[in-house]
């Protein structure tokens, strides 16, 4: 029986996932990455070669452990962490470690863009403000601070697109992932000549641009030898992890909203038209569906907050153990509040300099109070995006949960109570790799459209209702939480 392969180049590892034409997951494998390097506070870098090695390892393990022959794979889709900058020379060799999505070093480049192009004009041209996370700011940083490397610079790719280049030899990108470069005319789904001119970049440095479901290349003989895949297997453009993950959860029409807690946290809403926030608190990107867009708010350190706590203060315990302890603490965490700004913040505060804070500790509080406060604080941060959606008139008919946070019953309940409405999980909550596989299926003609693919295979597995008493307590806690950032801004403003 024919299969579809989705590959997701994440922050912590690369995942390979096989589904059949009914949408059933038949096999998966993951190969972890080397932890990202942080040479200075706020910096985050990874070696693109490690992504390629992980892709090879994940695909080979998938094929070996499943005993599914590569000849059964009809098409391949790619997804991955967004915004990273892989700089290549004239021979397509990597020039330096990639600056990845959570890197915060480019505040000066953002100021330069605001002074040179102007905040209002940036939104007009790209539908987004200048943020430290976006790829363009990383390119400008290298140009300013590493001139010898910049002299050799010829082109750039995003993380998943570097892996695609190694698989197919094609330098390509989809419009959804390209939206996060600050070089795309998001409204018209094309590269922005005006942004290239304003920044002095050559069009030749840009990868070829495609819609997510389009076939952009085929597995080369050398990639087949490295991965075990069949040479000639088609590869579609795919999408960045947020658009692909939302596709895999069926978030494709207006009113569909997802809240995903991975390393970062994202609240994502599909739209039939580009909706921009005049204050620049939300991102407006192309969706993985032609003629659709999405808006999203991002919490830099969502799941990272819990991982940071576990790694440094509870290394011998699992997430389930920590969650079990936190479940014994009532809603509101006894007044303890967590502001999850370990890596600065994006929504609603585009501030790379702010840092996290644990507020309200008393002698009567235990570790369990702190863990629950972290879970609640991340949910409060995601609620900030929903608050902006309401301001802008973006409909929220249903909220589907994704990522590691969706696997925790306690975190699901906390989110339902913080958001003040029920939340859903889907049967195949397999993340961005699943969405990438669906996009591959559309490219291969298994389904006539992304809508049809989602209608055919995405099913709700469970619903969690909001508990009125807990929701009322957490609404009061959220009001207090909203007062933390202004205080922190006064402390951390350079």
In the DSSP assignment, the letter for residue 70 is G
Q: Are 235 and 261 in a shared domain?
A: no
418: left (phi over 0), alpha (psi -120 to 50) or beta: alpha
Q: Which phi and psi (to 5°) does residue 288 adopt?
A: -80, 10
Indicate the pairing of strand 255-261 with strand 265-271: antiparallel
Q: Are 288 and 379 in a shared domain?
A: yes
255: left (phi over 0), alpha (psi -120 to 50) or beta: left
Element (H, E) at 437: helix 432-443
Element (H, E) at 323: helix 319-326
Q: Are 65 and 114 in a shared domain?
A: yes
493: domain CATH number?
3.30.420.40
Q: Cα separation of 381 and 299, whole Å?
A: 6
Q: Are 239 and 266 in a shared domain?
A: no
Q: Cα separation of 467 and 164, whole Å?
A: 45
Query: Is-contact 225 423, C-beta < 8 A?
Result: no
Residue 365 lies in a domain: yes
User: In the prediction, which pLDDT does 263 show?
Assistant: 86
User: In the prediction, which pLDDT does 494 show?
Assistant: 67
Residue 467 lies in a domain: yes
Query: Is-contact 79 7, C-beta < 8 A?
Result: yes
What's the domain range around 114?
3-243
Q: Are 119 and 200 in a shared domain?
A: yes
Residue 351 lies in a domain: yes
Residue 266 lies in a domain: yes
* Count: domains in the chain: 2
Element (H, E) at 454: helix 450-457
Residue 89 lies in a domain: yes
Query: Is-contact 219 76, C-beta < 8 A?
Result: yes
Q: Cα separation of 172 and 122, whole Å?
A: 24
Q: Are 102 and 58 in a shared domain?
A: yes
User: In the prediction, which pLDDT does 439 show?
Assistant: 98
User: In the prediction, which pLDDT does 100 show?
Assistant: 96
List, in sequence order, every residue forming a beta bridge with 481; answer none if it has no partner.
none
Boundary residue ending a domain (194, 214, 243): 243
Indicate the pairing of strand 86-88 with strand 155-157: antiparallel
Residue 166 lies in a domain: yes
User: In the prediction, which pLDDT does 35 show?
Assistant: 85
Q: Are 169 and 304 in a shared domain?
A: no
Q: Are 233 and 286 in a shared domain?
A: no
pTM (two decimals): 0.90
CA distances from 207 to 49, 71, 88, 156, 161 (A): 19, 29, 11, 7, 9
Q: Are 25 and 119 in a shared domain?
A: yes
Residue 451 lies in a domain: no
Residue 11 lies in a domain: yes
Boundary residue ending a domain (225, 243, 261): 243
Closest CA to 432 of 135, 179, 160: 160
Q: Cα separation of 21 and 288, whole Å?
A: 20
In the DSSP assignment, the letter for residue 418 is H
Q: Are 29 and 165 in a shared domain?
A: yes
Handedness of CA 244, 292, 193, 200 (dihedral sign): negative
37-73 pLDDT per residue, tens: 888 888 999 999 999 999 999 999 999 999 999 999 9
In the DSSP assignment, the letter for residue 33 is P
Query: Is-contact 340 481, C-beta < 8 A?
Result: no
Q: Are 133 and 188 in a shared domain?
A: yes
Write the DSSP string, 162-225.
HHHHHHHS--EEEHHHHGGGT-EETTTTEE-HHHHHHHT--GGGSPEEE-TTSEEEE--HHHHH
Boundary residue ending a domain (243, 274, 307): 243
Active site residues: 241
Distance of CA 134 to the CA centre of its chain: 12
Q: Are 290 and 218 in a shared domain?
A: no
Query: Is-contact 179 130, C-beta < 8 A?
Result: no
User: In the prediction, which pLDDT does 41 show?
Assistant: 84
Residues of the chain with pLDDT under 50: none
Helix (H, G, I), strand (E, B) or coil at 116: helix
Helix (H, G, I), strand (E, B) or coil at 358: strand
To 5 degrees, how large is the angle CA 98–CA 101–CA 107?
A: 95
Closest CA to 350 of 489, 227, 153: 489
């Amino acid at each position: 029986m024919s299969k579809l392969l989705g590959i997701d180049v994440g922050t912590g590892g690369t995942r390979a996932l096989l589904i059949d034409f009914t949408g059933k997951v038949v096999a998966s494998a993951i190969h972890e990455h080397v932890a990202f390097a942080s040479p200075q506070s706020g910096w985050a870098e990874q070696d693109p070669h490690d992504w390629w090695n992980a892709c090879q390892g994940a695909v080979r393990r998938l094929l070996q452990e499943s005993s599914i022959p590569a000849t059964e794979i009809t098409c391949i889709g790619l997804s991955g962490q967004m915004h990273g900058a892989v700089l290549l020379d004239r021979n397509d060799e990597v020039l330096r470690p990639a600056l990845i999505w959570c890197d915060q070093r480019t505040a000066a480049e953002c100021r330069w863009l605001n002074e040179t192009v102007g905040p209002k004009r940036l939104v007009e041209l790209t539908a987004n403000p200048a943020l430290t996370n976006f790829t363009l700011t990383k390119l400008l940083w290298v140009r300013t601070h590493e001139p010898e490397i910049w002299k050799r610079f010829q082109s750039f790719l995003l993380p998943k697109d570097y892996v695609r280049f190694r698989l197919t030899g094609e330098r390509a990108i989809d419009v959804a992932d390209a939206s996060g470069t600050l070089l795309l005319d998001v409204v018209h789904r094309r590269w922005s000549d005006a942004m290239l001119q304003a920044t002095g970049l050559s069009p030749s440095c840009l990868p070829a641009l495609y819609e997510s479901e389009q076939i952009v290349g085929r597995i080369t003989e050398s990639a087949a030898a490295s991965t075990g895949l069949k040479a000639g297997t088609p590869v579609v453009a795919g999408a960045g992890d947020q658009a692909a993950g939302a596709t895999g959860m069926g978030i494709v029409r207006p009113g569909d909203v997802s809240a995903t807690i991975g390393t970062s946290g994202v609240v994502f809403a599909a739209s039939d038209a580009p909706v921009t926030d005049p204050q620049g608190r939300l991102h407006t990107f192309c969706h993985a569906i032609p003629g659709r867009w999405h808006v999203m708010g991002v919490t830099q350190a969502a799941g990272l907050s819990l991982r940071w706590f576990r790694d440094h203060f509870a290394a011998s315990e699992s997430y389930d153990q920590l969650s079990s302890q936190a479940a014994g603490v009532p809603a509101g965490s006894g007044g303890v509040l967590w502001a999850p700004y370990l890596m600065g913040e994006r929504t609603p505060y585009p501030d790379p300099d702010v840092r996290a804070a644990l507020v309200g500790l008393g002698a009567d509080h235990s570790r369990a109070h702190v863990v629950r406060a972290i879970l609640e604080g991340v949910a409060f941060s995601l609620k900030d995006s929903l608050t902006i959606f309401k301001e802008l008139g973006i409909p929220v008919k249903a909220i589907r949960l994704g990522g590691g946070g969706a696997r925790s019953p306690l975190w699901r309940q906390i989110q339902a109570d913080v958001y003040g409405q029920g939340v859903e999980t889907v049967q195949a909550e397999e993340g961005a790799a699943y969405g990438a596989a669906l996009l591959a299926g559309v490219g291969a003609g298994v389904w006539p459209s992304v809508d049809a693919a989602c209608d055919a295979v995405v099913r709700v597995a469970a619903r969690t209702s909001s508990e009125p008493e807990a929701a009322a307590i957490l609404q009061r806690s959220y009001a207090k939480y909203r007062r933390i950032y202004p205080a922190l801004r006064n402390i951390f403003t350079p």
